[in-house]
Amino acid sequence: MPHLKRVNALKEAAFEEGGFDGYLIFNGINQLYFLGFPGTSALLVPPDGEATLYVYSVNYEQAKAMGKGFNVELVKANENFLAKIAKKAVDCKIKKLAVDALGVQTWVNLIDELGGPKVEVNNSHIESLRLVKDEVEIGLMRRAGELTGEGMKAAFEVVKPGAKEFEVAAQIEYAMRSRGAGPTAFESIVASGQCSAFPHGGCSGREIREGDLVVVDIGATYQYYCSDMTRTFVVGKPSSKQQKIYDTVKVAQQKAFEAAKAGVSAADLDAVARKFITAAGFGQYFVHRLGHGVGLEVHEPPSMSSTNKNKLVAGCVVTDEPGIYVPGFGGVRIEDTLLMGLHGAERLTTGPYNLKPA
Ligand code: ZN
Ligand code: ZN
């Protein structure tokens, strides 16, 4: 039961070390992390005994069927949801309650309902747990990476002169979903021509033309876990400038990959790629951080930026995605999702790096 294990890990971190004796989880993704299925409204972890999950009638039967090891409470439409949780927290004799995330008004109401116990906003324990993926999560992310690779294979086949960006995206998404992927981790980016110079270039009805750079940035999900991968193509023969930009990004991405392992900081890895791109004369066109963490969310900690001096730990999953974007000319980005290990990183997204579609 990986999910109950995660609840116990939270108790260990937040109760034994953090000084809390209750945890109230409202963030939907955090609930998904501890439960493994969506549709619940809150999760209360008491000092002793089963955690209680709160769910409205629309999702009640599903929660009962899937929430093994949890106490499932039905919230009726006419019931005061917060009062119900507060009563339980007081019954469990919670004295210091951590709450992961809450709107301001709900926060005020919750404090009102609770009366006595001390309440603190705290997401750090859950964030630390989610940062290091367990074996089950790594298995799911590996599959998400494979499915994303299948999507990229489709891109290699369909990117050609006359194809519209959204047609390419449709073929990519079909290839992923028809093999068992969930919804995409984010809106697929197929950005051609001058739009390739916008890092978040979207996907329009533009027809791809001979000589275009085409940035394809996609991600499948598998059982709620995300993946993230980018390749850039040139339709037709690349110009020498396109080739030079491409080669620079490719080497920068590989250098960061080779330097990646537990104990190295995100800032160090960002610097590896940035120094190389700067030395090649394109530093001003690398306009974003090296990457970001990936998990249940496609953008989550750790940030792979020049300001994040924290050391990466084994089991965290991050992207390595340098890019060069020359306004009015076009852009190149190459991205893989990496699993950090003690002695090096493993690519969870794999696939050829050809500049020209096959
Ligand atoms: Zn991406
Ligand atoms: Zn990314």
**pLDDT (average), residues 183-191:** 97
Alpha helix stretches (DSSP H) within the chain: 2-10, 28-35, 57-66, 81-91, 104-114, 124-131, 135-158, 165-177, 240-259, 266-279
Q: Which residue in this structure is represented by tokens 């439960």?
A: 35
One-letter amino acid of 188: S
Q: What's the CA-to-centroid distance between 32 and ligand 1, angstroms? A: 23
| CA distance linking residue 261 with residue 338, whole number of Å | 10
Nearest bound ligand to the CA of residue 189: 1
Query: Mean pLDDT throughout 98-109?
Result: 90
Query: What is the reported pLDDT for 55?
Result: 96
In CATH, the architecture of 2-130 is 3-Layer(aba) Sandwich (3.40)
Sort residue 290 into left (φ over 0), alpha (ψ -120 to 50) or beta: alpha
Average pLDDT rounded to a whole number, residues 230-241: 95
- Residue 2's pLDDT band (cuts 50, 70, 90): confident
Q: What is the Å distance from ligand 1's center to 228 Cα? A: 5
Would you state the pLDDT for residue 358?
59
What does the pLDDT look like over 51-88, one tens digit per residue?
999 999 999 999 999 999 999 999 999 999 999 999 99
- What would the DSSP string read from start to end of 248-312? HHHHHHHHHHHH--TTSBHHHHHHHHHHHHHHTT-GGG--S-SEEE-SSSSSEEEEESTT--PBP
Ligand nearest the Cα of residue 294 is: 2
| β-pair partners for 47 | none
CATH level 3 topology of 135-347: Creatine Amidinohydrolase (3.90.230)
pLDDT greater than 80 at residue 357: no
Report whether pLDDT(115) > 90: no
Q: What are the CA-CA distances from residue 3 to residues 56, 81, 88, 135 (Å)?
A: 21, 24, 22, 12
pLDDT category at 296 given cuts 50, 70, 90 is very high
Q: Distance, CA 237 to ligand 2 centroid (Å)? A: 27
Predicted local confidence at residue 134, as pLDDT: 97
> What separation in Å is there between the alpha carbon of 304 and the centre of ligand 2?
10
Ligand 1 centre distance from Cα of residue 127 (Å)? 22
pLDDT for the residue 336: 98
- For 318-331, how does the pLDDT look when each residue is reduced to its tens digit (9 = 90+)? 999 999 999 999 99
Nearest to 269 by CA among 250, 285, 253: 253
pLDDT band at 1 (very low <50, low <70, confident <90, very high): confident
Phi/psi-derived region of residue 339, left when phi > 0, alpha when psi is between -120 and 50, beta in every other case = beta
Ligand 2 centroid to residue 187 C-alpha, Å: 12
The predicted model gives 264-279 an average pLDDT of: 98
Q: What is the maximal distance between C-alpha atoms in the chain? A: 71
DSSP element (H, E) containing 226? strand 225-226
| Cα 291 to ligand 2 centre (Å) | 6
SS3 content of the chain, % helix, strand, coil (to 5): 40, 20, 40
Nearest residue to 103 (alpha-carbon basis) of 23, 185, 42, 36: 42
Q: Does the pLDDT value for residue 5 go beyond 80?
A: yes
78 burial type by CB count under 10 A (0-12 exposed, 13-18 middle, 19+ buried): exposed
Cα torsion 132, 136, 139, 140: sign? negative
* Domain assignments of the chain as residue spans, ordered by start: 2-130, 135-347
**What is the average per-residue pLDDT within 216-235?**
97
CA–CA gap between residue 46 and residue 43 (Å, rounded)? 10
Alpha-carbon distances, residue 342 vs 195, 263, 311 (angstroms): 39, 8, 12
Answer for the pair 132, 55: CB distance below 8 angstroms, yes or no: no
Tell me the CA–centroid distance for residue 41 and ligand 1, in Å: 30
What mean pLDDT, rounded, does the chain reach? 95
Residue 15 to residue 12: CA distance in whole angstroms:
6
Q: Which two tokens stand for residue 193?
A: 């021509």
The answer to whether the CB of 253 falls within 8 A of the CB of 305 is no
Mean pLDDT along residues 335-340: 98
321 Cα: distance to centroid of ligand 2 (angstroms): 7
Per-residue pLDDT at 144 exceeds 90? yes
pLDDT of residue 200: 87
Residue 240: pLDDT band by 50, 70, 90 thresholds?
Answer: very high
CB neighbour burial string for 154-184, b if at least 16 within 10 angstroms, e if fewer: bbbebbeeebbbebbbbbbbebbeeeebbeb
Cα–Cα dist 156/172, whole Å: 10
User: What is residue 58's three-state secondary structure?
Assistant: helix
31 — pLDDT class (breaks 50, 70, 90): very high
